[in-house]
Structure 1
Amino acid sequence: MNKQDLISKIKKLDGVTQDERAYLINMVNTKKKYGLVWEDKPEDVEEQLRDNLPVLKEVKEKAIINGEDNPNHILIEGDNLHALTALTFTHEGKVDVIYIDPPYNTGNKDFKYNDTFVDKEDSYRHSKWLSFMDKRLRIAKRLLSETGVIFMSIDDNENAQLKLLCDEIFYEKNLISDVIWQSRKSVSNDTFVSLNHNYTLIYAKDISYLDKNNFRLPTSVEKFDNSDNDPRGAWVADPFDAPNLRPNLTYAIINPNNGKEFWPPKGRCWRTGEDEYLKFLADNRIVFGKKGETKPQLKRFLDFAVDKGATSISIWSDIETTTNGTQQLEDILGSKLFTNPKPLGLLDRILKLSTNNNKTANVLDFFAGSGTTLHATMSLNAEDGGNRQCILVTNNENNICEEVTYERNKRVIEGYTNTKNVAVAGLENNNFRYFKSDYVSRTKSLKNKKELTRLATELLCIKENCYAQSTSLSGTKQSQIAIFEDAKTQMVVIYDDLFIEDSIEIIKKLKENQKTDNHIKVYVFSNGQYPYTEDFEEVAHFVELCALPDAIYKAYQNVLPKTKRDIVPTLEDDETTDENLFNQSNS
């Protein structure tokens, strides 16, 4: 049965009201054979976007600046749906790693929907959480680069639902793993089974672009030694047998030290043919245990192992727990201001796994909480000389953004004295900027377009990663043209198209002093899509033009809700409740 034919017939039905017709069409459009079905609950912060466009305003007095060569990290205070929408203009397709630790929806005052805690008795508890996550994850996917990866911490309350939701958004084929992290060591004796783990779902944006060799942990060198003084350096002995049964790889190997005969273990074979084995033996690549009396093993040298990296396993029981995270945060802030912060060890594992071969990665955490993700990013940069940049997003409920997220990372950069009265040196090679979300009317009047262009200045700085504003202009020009430049980037923002002619001379002077061959970015106000290309003909060969606010409208158009919400009628006895969350009908 063709869906469109059926919808056409419904539209022609007699004797039904418009609401009944809309209900029937919605049933045809949303019916699934397999997957999640939930009642989409309106969210206040999404409703705000029906009338307003988000922008970001910098709180300049909170900026920590330590030199333009250092990475620029960003903290955004505001609802993450608004911040993610704004980031579609600055970072669509540019984020390499996303880590999130969303509310687990335990029913114990950990998840608010429309300013109200969702408790266990709420019949739409799971639906509200899924509505909340669905909007944000769909935007997050747009932000990911071609080889981008997202990590999501979750527990049993929503793990099954999140897995199905992500299979729908990111596609099941892009699932990398559902890692189990041992989040606590102590045993809880007041329950049937002590819950000692969380999950970390890992999805690629497109796994076909992801190289397995770039998704590796640094090699641990502790097990490598050189007991036989091999001139090729330290080594570790790996098993010489391999999975599967292959006749050409199944043969007897004689231990030359004691004459014992060895065959592959049951159900396995040797990893090479006999001729290749004999070459390894002659090259001193085969050992027979520490005393030379057991089955064959193959030497793997440290330099090769370091280049290749180590494959992660799916159970992480060898890293820090939530208890460590609490101690680390208290050590910095001096008191317990946040419940169950993630430990540095968890984020260190995630960042090393995903950015070990990309030391300039863009990292995003839009449930920033205590700010562990930025702390871990700065620590890893200090460890391996990287230049990764991190964006944090959190609301300021109970002053968490100012007093925890910001204050923690401010102290990490500037240095602090810990709870043992020991001075801890700061990670000074970092810049840190604080932004708040703001709004402009979505109505496309000339007044609103001009206001959006002016308020977009901070968005442009974030987009171009260029924040140093020139003070060389004066008078009227100063209010209508802005210049930003550093060693790598030059940017001109023209807030009024009447000042295009004045900007030409400014652009020429910038070109004369330019230290690179990069095009000068020129953002010019235009009431339409045209960036006045002909007016810039004299400098066209070394500028890149962009019309504002049209570029912002275009970036937002795929993520903003419709200006009017679609109201779908429901029947009282046919509403989707959380009891029917998993629809697996074969009809």
Structure 2
Amino acid sequence: MEGNNNWKYLIKEETVSGLTTLLLDIKNNHNQDELIEKIKDLETQISKLQKTKKYWLVWEMEKEPEQIVLDCQRKLPILKEVKDKFLKSDESWKANILIEWDNFHALQVLNYTHKESIDLIYIDPPYNTWNANEWKYNDKYIDDNDTYRHSKWLNFMSKRLTLSKELLKENWLIFISIDDNEQAQLKLLCDEIFWSDNFIANIIWQSKTWSSDAKGIDTITEYILVYAKNKLLPEFTKNADWYDKKRYKLRDEYFSERWPYYLDNLDRWWLRYHDSLNYAISIPDWSSIFPNWRSEFLNDGWTWKWWRQKVKWWLENGYIIFKKSKSKNNWWWVYYKNYLYSDNEGNLLERWTPHKNVISNLKTWDGASSIKNIFWFHVFKYSKPTELIKYFIKSVNLPKDAIILDYFAWSWTTWHSVLELNKEYWLDLKFIICTNNEWNICEEVTFERIKKVSKGYSNDKWAKTEWLGWNLKYYKTDFVEVENVQLIDDKQKLELTYKAWEVIAIKEWTYHEISKTPYFQFFENNKKLVWIYFIESSKWMDQFKNTLKQLSKSKNESVIYIFSYSEPEYSCKDFNVPNLRIEWIPEPILKIYKELNKKI
């Protein structure tokens, strides 16, 4: 320690680092006078720190650790398909994914299958209200008698938000519904996880019009916090909902370009009358009409709004419409169309405003009613309306085949919204949803909702909705038991490889199994072929290569997952197959699980 003058530890900035360094010095230092001096200095810094005003979120993290998280130190989560719940709506190779079980386990698996692959996340977590039976922590319902309920909620949310951040692509967003019970804490938590610089908006949603039990000031709003992984990268769409829908409500064959329109009379009375605007227009009954329903030229002060050449162009391009009078024989009304995105010269307009952080035209009751239409009774008193989730998705310029994730999908509103958007806008959006099965809600409510909506359902005694399609794969989490996730023996590595084949199929979007032997397994979609080679041995490799060569001829891409205790020696040249990619298992899966367990 002689000559070392750098032993003042900046506890204020780096408390843990300072204490760790101090303890190391204490272990190696035998000069008691110097130790006493260091301890006094440390006490002085602690005293200053206690008097300093702090601005960060602090909660009791270790008062009661979450058991599900602790279990992952000795359990490796995998996914197993529930085959009798496969929903097949068409013959395509595409499928959406439902994962039933705790979302912490699901997010761990998705960190292997979909790391930096998700385009948008929407979640509706428990609000941590004073209501009993709302949410559980360590298998116990949290109520207002629990003095650590805020800490438990933050502990619960911080781990899941940390895991889900890794799933987002660099240029996309997460939307989080919340109310006043945890909004302030959640904002600080998200500032910490996603960084405050990536905060986009706190959307205020008027979720109801009034409360029957309100006293003093009636709370009728909830919030949606919006964060980006990188605030500079997301592209927002034009706000298509800014205009007056009661006025611009008519559509025609030009809607995709000109958008909706309203009608206005083509003739009018002018103070500045001019003969050039007083002329005959041919109408559908092959006669002619002058302004003010006249059948002949007359100066009564009435004219057409535009000159003859312009009206002729309007007639040829669908801007004029004729309507026969219901009250007067042989009378015709002549209207022109005022399009939202086209002026009277036929030029397309750029009319739009930014999306606002206030939503007032959608209510919780709309969501509850939507679900009631499906089941014929009220399943949920509070449920987000599909139009709300659709608005969030439409607010960003997502790719047509974007992947949407919801890992608090108890009512499946996100899934329903995605399917409706696919149908309305000819998109190819995919979804991954995760939920537990508390009170059999996944099997008896959410899964039933997707069945009904996918295939079409009767929403009253006479009407049947149109089917929304898409296939669904239903998975539950399973586990490979280990003593310590950081120390996996060879037998457990092989067990993980055999059990992880469905995880690999999800990662590659290849759900159709061709064949399986004790030594290798094959999957495919319409463009890709995937193999898993289970044995670290050359004994079966020749047979494997021959099968691979035959099956790969009809595919654009081939992928081999080779089991190995260490990095495999094979390369693409060893297989003589075009467009081949080789992956190693199970070490990349284990590496992600180990890193996640250290991080949380």
> TM-score normalized by structure 1?
0.75
Partner of 1:35: 56
Runs (5+) with no aligned partner, structure 1: 17-22, 227-231, 237-256, 259-283, 285-298, 566-587
> What root-mean-square deviation, in Å, do the aligned CA atoms of Structure 1 and Structure 2 show?
3.5
Partner of 2:576: 539
Q: Is the 8 A contact 2:572 2:582 kept in 1?
A: no
Partner of 1:560: 597
Partner of 1:195: 219
Partner of 1:74: 97
Partner of 2:125: 102
Moved more, 501-510 or 461-470: 501-510
- Measured against aligned partners, the alpha-carbon deviations of 1:19-78 in whole angstroms (never above 9, x if no partner) come to xxxx99999999994210111040010011010111010001100123453642111110
Q: Is the 8 A contact 2:514 2:522 kept in 1?
A: yes
Map 1:218-233; keep pairs closer than 5 Å. Answer: 222=245
Map 1:436-447; keep pairs closer than 5 Å. Answer: 436-440=476-480, 441=482, 442=485, 443-447=487-491
Partner of 2:444: 403
Aligned mates of 2:149, 2:195 — CA distance in 1: 25
What letter matches 1:38 in structure 2? Answer: W
Partner of 2:495: 451
SS of residue in 1 equivalent to 2:80 = strand
Aligned mates of 2:489, 2:88 — CA distance in 1: 37
Q: Is the 8 A contact 2:341 2:349 kept in 1?
A: no
- Measured against aligned partners, the alpha-carbon deviations of 1:564-586 in whole angstroms (never above 9, x if no partner) come to x9xxxxxxxxxxxxxxxxxxxxx
Aligned mates of 1:97, 1:178 — CA distance in 2: 17
Alpha-carbon offset, residue 480 of structure 1: 2.0
Partner of 1:432: 472
Partner of 1:328: 370
Q: Cα 1:67–1:507, aligned 2, differ >3 Å: closer, same or farther?
A: farther
Alpha-carbon offset, residue 107 of structure 1: 2.5
Q: Is the 8 A contact 1:46 1:561 kept in 2?
A: no
Aligned mates of 2:260, 2:415 — CA distance in 1: 35
SS of residue in 1 equivalent to 2:468 = coil
What letter matches 2:558 in structure 1? Answer: I
Is 1:83 the counterpart of 2:89? The answer is no
Aligned mates of 1:115, 1:421 — CA distance in 2: 44
Q: Cα 1:524–1:221, aligned 2, differ >3 Å: closer, same or farther?
A: farther
SS of residue in 2 equivalent to 1:177 = strand
Alpha-carbon offset, residue 418 of structure 1: 2.3
- Measured against aligned partners, the alpha-carbon deviations of 1:341-385 in whole angstroms (never above 9, x if no partner) come to 211111111111135x42211000000011010011001000001
Map 1:20-419; keep pairs closer than 5 Å. Answer: 33-41=54-62, 42-67=65-90, 69=92, 71-109=94-132, 110-212=134-236, 214=237, 216-217=239-240, 222=245, 301=342, 310-319=353-362, 321-355=363-397, 357-419=398-460
Alpha-carbon offset, residue 524 of structure 1: 1.2
Is 1:479 the counterpart of 2:514? The answer is no
Aligned mates of 1:186, 1:338 — CA distance in 2: 18
Q: Is the 8 A contact 1:74 1:434 kept in 2?
A: yes
Partner of 1:263: none
Q: Cα 1:561–1:48, aligned 2, differ >3 Å: closer, same or farther?
A: farther
Alpha-carbon offset, residue 419 of structure 1: 3.9
Q: Cα 1:467–1:304, aligned 2, differ >3 Å: closer, same or farther?
A: farther
Q: Is the 8 A contact 1:53 1:439 kept in 2?
A: yes
Q: Cα 1:9–1:313, aligned 2, differ >3 Å: closer, same or farther?
A: same
Aligned mates of 1:467, 1:24 — CA distance in 2: 63
Q: Cα 1:309–1:233, aligned 2, differ >3 Å: closer, same or farther?
A: closer
Q: Cα 1:185–1:29, aligned 2, differ >3 Å: closer, same or farther?
A: same
Aligned mates of 1:97, 1:151 — CA distance in 2: 8
Q: Is the 8 A contact 2:368 2:379 kept in 1?
A: no
Q: Cα 1:235–1:333, aligned 2, differ >3 Å: closer, same or farther?
A: closer
What letter matches 1:9 in structure 2? Answer: L
Q: Cα 1:196–1:218, aligned 2, differ >3 Å: closer, same or farther?
A: closer
What letter matches 2:387 in structure 1? Answer: G
What letter matches 1:328 in structure 2? Answer: S
SS of residue in 1 equivalent to 2:97 = strand
SS of residue in 2 equivalent to 1:497 = coil
Partner of 1:548: 585
Alpha-carbon offset, residue 511 of structure 1: 2.7
SS of residue in 2 equivalent to 1:98 = strand
Aligned mates of 2:438, 2:490 — CA distance in 1: 35
Aligned mates of 1:123, 1:496 — CA distance in 2: 53
Partner of 1:294: none
Alpha-carbon offset, residue 484 of structure 1: 1.1
Aligned mates of 1:79, 1:333 — CA distance in 2: 26
> TM-score normalized by structure 2?
0.73
Aligned mates of 2:166, 2:383 — CA distance in 1: 27
Higher RCO structure, 1 or 2 (CA under 8 Å, sep 6+): 1
Alpha-carbon offset, residue 535 of structure 1: 8.3
SS of residue in 2 equivalent to 1:558 = helix
Alpha-carbon offset, residue 553 of structure 1: 1.3
SS of residue in 1 equivalent to 2:212 = coil
Largest Rg, 1 or 2: 2
Is 1:462 the counterpart of 2:483? The answer is no
Aligned mates of 1:208, 1:151 — CA distance in 2: 17
Q: Cα 1:561–1:9, aligned 2, differ >3 Å: closer, same or farther?
A: closer
Alpha-carbon offset, residue 542 of structure 1: 2.8
Q: Cα 1:560–1:539, aligned 2, differ >3 Å: closer, same or farther?
A: farther
SS of residue in 2 equivalent to 1:36 = coil
Partner of 1:571: none
Partner of 1:295: none
